[in-house]
């Protein structure tokens, strides 16, 4: 008799503790891998083109040189714009990241000087471009 009681208790705790997901929304995880030299101080996410950004790291930081952090995303959209801020205030925009198809986002080093260049080549089937500019 203890086994059914333990199962019922575990089931109840799972639904009380787990985040509430609305109708049509799915919970996904995105691993942010910082291959840049600078520390990442904040990461924002918005449905592609919406500019409705929300903070993902919530006070955490990701060291440079290959450190990673996994963030939880609850959304009914697959394509998201990811805005990353590095130590010192520099920013990179990764537009239209497909969180349904990709489980990770590799952050590349930003250009040292001059006009910001894309950190990656933009292709539909690959990871998006980092422009180094904040969306308006």
Residue 12 belongs to what H/E stretch? Answer: helix 2-17
Instruction: Identify whether the C-beta of residue 56 lies closer than 8 Å to the C-beta of residue 71.
Output: yes
What is the pLDDT at residue 4? Answer: 57
Secondary structure element (H or E) that encloses residue 45, with its range: strand 40-47
Q: How does residue 113 score in pLDDT terms, banded at 50, 70 and 90?
A: low
H or E segment and range at residue 17: helix 2-17
Taking only the tens place, the pLDDT of each residue in 17-35 is 444 444 557 899 999 999 9
- 86 within 8 A of 40, measured Cβ to Cβ: yes
pTM (whole model) above 0.75? no
Residue of 68 and 25 predicted with greater confidence: 68
118-134 pLDDT tens trace:
444 333 333 343 444 44
| 72 neighbors 19 (Cβ within 8 angstroms) | yes
């Amino acid at each position: 008799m203890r086994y059914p009681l333990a199962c019922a208790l575990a089931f109840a705790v799972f639904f009380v503790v787990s985040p509430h997901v609305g109708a049509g929304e799915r919970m996904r995880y995105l691993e942010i891998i910082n291959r840049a030299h600078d520390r990442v101080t904040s990461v924002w996410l918005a449905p592609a083109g919406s500019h409705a950004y929300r903070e993902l790291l919530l006070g955490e930081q990701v060291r440079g040189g290959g450190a990673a952090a996994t963030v939880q995303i609850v959304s009914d959209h697959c394509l998201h714009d990811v805005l990353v801020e590095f130590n010192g205030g520099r920013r990179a925009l990764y537009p239209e990241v497909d969180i349904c198809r990709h489980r990770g986002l590799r952050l590349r080093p930003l250009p040292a000087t001059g006009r910001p260049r894309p950190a990656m080549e933009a292709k539909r089937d690959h990871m998006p471009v980092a422009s180094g500019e904040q969306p308006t």
